[in-house]
Chains A and B, each alone.
Chain A
Amino acid sequence: MDLIRNWRIHLFALCIVVVADFVGIQKFGLVVFLPLFYALVLGGIISYPSFHIMSDKMMERAGEFMPVAMLYLIVKIGLGIGPNLHMLMNSGMALIMQEFGHFFGTLIFGLPMALFLKMGREAIGACYSIDREANVAIIAEKYGIFSPEGRGVMGMYICGTLFGALWISVLAGIIARTGLFHPYALAMGGGIGSASMMAASVGSIVAVFLKKPRKLLLMRVQLI
């Protein structure tokens, strides 16, 4: 039970939650700022290495807490699915096809950018997927982590951890507010990357369509 000894992490988390939710949802034109956005930024500031507020060990522990805390959200999402289960069963093809969308999206948007910036074979590692742990493992197995592809995949992994959730929460909010897409489609598209990215995207989409959040949550089953 060394977790109780990490009370400082929990205290920081408590302060962050209070501040973030006190500020609440702010809208500037198309951009929506959510409490989860402030929480991420505040956490990042507190843990910034130059400030020496948190040790590496503490940051690592905080990183281990996140997946467990995520289950709390997963349950909340899951409880919204049951009443709408039959609808989900009818949209199986959409769930499979959006997986193609995830892939072609990284290729169509990412690769031209990488080539434009004259990246070498790093581009393959960086652009073949959203590059989370499993994708890093695939590249490491096929090319080795020290190959150019390996460098690309690790770079994307680090960037995704640092900026992924921030970027996605802003982007998902903007896209959702353009009104071009149905909330279900947005929710399916939002199921990308790491836990924090998913939480950020689904949070932003829900904030835009507050009137029927539960129906929206239905589509989040793909997060499973």
Chain B
Amino acid sequence: MTSVLGIYFALFVSLPVTVKVYDFVTGRKRQEEVGEITDTNELNRQEALENQVVDENAASVTELIEDTKDKENKVKETLLDCLFILCVTGVLGIVANVVGYKGNPIADFTGSALLVIIAFIGICIAHLPGLKKLPIVFWVSIFAVICSVPEIPGTAWIVEQTNHINFLATTTPILAYGGLSLGKDIPAFKRLSWRIVPVALMVASGSFICATIMAEIMLHLEGIF
């Protein structure tokens, strides 16, 4: 829900406020500053260099977008691919559970298989005509929630079986793939200014800490605990 909400929030609240605060603090308007930059030759060259970096990145982003468009055309192939990746992830999940959390491979198999099946059904739902507008994650999570509502018969068994798989065991395979894809961003990163690193860390920390504080306050006000 928030992923959809968050985009509108970012567009209509975050961005205008950030621009206002920036203009207020530095006392400079956009036109002056952008003008300044184009006036200076050296900065111009720098900009051109940096543009190159951005250019490549922009290209990769558009590639991504085109990629997803291509995928829509080949729904069937995509579904097979997804099923295959999910099965591999399922196996990796079992491995992680056995190695790290002393799981029993036979009991884990049912749990892991259930997770894969539910995820795959969720993907199929997301590919139904008319439902494509919302992200796959949305449909998969909704379906998983429905599969665990106690009022529906059979769900208790699903929850019990999947509880054999430790939660942390499901995160390791994901970040293994995530890590393996990091390499492609390293060349682009090397060309960036070092300044962005502390800023990036502060932004991430700020987002996490402030959201936690807000949630803490609101949960207290609403009397959840």
Among the listed B54, B149, B182, B206, which residue makes an inter-chain contact with A85, where contact means beta carbons less than 8 Å apart? B149
Which positions 194-225 of chain B face chain A at CB distance < 8 Å?
A: 195-219, 221-222, 224-225
Residues of A within 8 A of B174 (CB): 36, 66, 69-70, 72-73, 195-196, 199
Contact B215 A97 (CB under 8 A): yes
Contact A17 B209 (CB under 8 A): no
Which positions 1-28 of chain B face chain A at CB distance < 8 Å?
A: 1-3, 5-7, 9-11, 13-15, 17-19, 21-22, 25-26
A223: Cβ under 8 A from any B Cβ:
yes
Among the listed A80, A110, A165, which residue makes an inter-chain contact with B199, where contact means beta carbons less than 8 Å apart? A110
Q: How large is the interface on A (under 10, 10 to 19, 20 to 34, 35 or more residues)?
A: 35 or more
Query: With A60-B184, A79-B148, A196-B178 as given contacts, are A121 and B30 in contact (CB-CB < 8 Å)?
Result: yes
Query: With A158-B185, A158-B189 as given contacts, are A110 and B173 in contact (CB-CB < 8 Å)?
Result: no
Q: Chain A: which residue is nearest B135 at the CB level?
A: A224
B215 CB → nearest A CB, Å: 4
Contact A119 B199 (CB under 8 A): yes
Q: Chain A: which residue is nearest B63 at the CB level?
A: A60
Instruction: Give the total of B residues in contact with A, Cβ under 8 Å.
Output: 129
Among the listed B30, B57, B222, which residue makes an inter-chain contact with A90, where contact means beta carbons less than 8 Å apart? B222
B103 CB → nearest A CB, Å: 10
A94: Cβ under 8 A from any B Cβ:
yes
Residues of A within 8 A of B54 (CB): 145-146, 150-151, 154
Contact B176 A168 (CB under 8 A): no
Contact A49 B187 (CB under 8 A): yes
Contact B84 A117 (CB under 8 A): no
Residues of B within 8 A of A44 (CB): 179, 182-183
A28: Cβ under 8 A from any B Cβ:
no
Which positions 45-59 of chain B face chain A at CB distance < 8 Å?
A: 50-51, 53-55, 57-58
Among the listed A21, A79, A124, A171, which residue makes an inter-chain contact with B18, where contact means beta carbons less than 8 Å apart? A124
Contact A39 B22 (CB under 8 A): no
Contact B9 A34 (CB under 8 A): no
Q: How far is the CA of A139 from the CA of B57 in the complex (A)?
A: 14
A177: Cβ under 8 A from any B Cβ:
no
A55 CB → nearest B CB, Å: 10
Contact B159 A43 (CB under 8 A): no
Contact B144 A79 (CB under 8 A): yes
A128 CB → nearest B CB, Å: 4
Q: Chain A: which residue is nearest B168 at the CB level?
A: A203
Contact A147 B85 (CB under 8 A): no
Q: How far is the CA of A124 from the CA of B200 in the complex (A)?
A: 12
A224 CB → nearest B CB, Å: 5
Q: Chain A: which residue is nearest B146 at the CB level?
A: A82
Among the listed A10, A56, A118, A134, which residue makes an inter-chain contact with B10, where contact means beta carbons less than 8 Å apart? A134
Residues of B within 8 A of A63 (CB): 177-178, 181, 184
What mask results when residues 114 to 139 of chain B are scored 1 for a CB within 8 Å of chain A, else 0?
01101100110000000000001110
Q: How far is the CA of A135 from the CA of B136 in the complex (A)?
A: 19
Residues of A within 8 A of B9 (CB): 99, 103
What mask results when residues 100 to 126 of chain A are scored 1 for a CB within 8 Å of chain B, else 0?
111111111111011101111111101
Among the listed B2, B165, B175, which residue makes an inter-chain contact with A95, where contact means beta carbons less than 8 Å apart? B2
Among the listed A56, A196, A223, which residue makes an inter-chain contact with B141, where contact means beta carbons less than 8 Å apart? A223
Task: Provide a sorted-by-A list of 14 A–B residue pairs whose CB atoms are within 8 angstroms.
Answer: A16-B180, A25-B168, A35-B168, A43-B181, A47-B182, A74-B137, A78-B143, A90-B224, A98-B214, A107-B17, A145-B58, A154-B53, A171-B208, A203-B167
Residues of B within 8 A of A (CB): 1-3, 5-7, 9-11, 13-15, 17-19, 21-22, 25-26, 30, 33-34, 37, 50-51, 53-55, 57-58, 61, 64, 67, 77, 80-82, 84-86, 88-90, 92-93, 95-96, 99-101, 115-116, 118-119, 122-123, 136-138, 140-150, 155, 158-159, 162, 165, 167-189, 192-193, 195-219, 221-222, 224-225
Give me 9 other A-B pairs in contact (C-beta within 8 A), A113-B198, A127-B203 excluded.
Answer: A44-B183, A65-B85, A81-B144, A95-B1, A102-B6, A103-B207, A133-B61, A133-B64, A224-B2
7 A-B pairs closest in CB distance: A43-B179, A78-B144, A109-B206, A82-B148, A105-B210, A47-B183, A21-B100
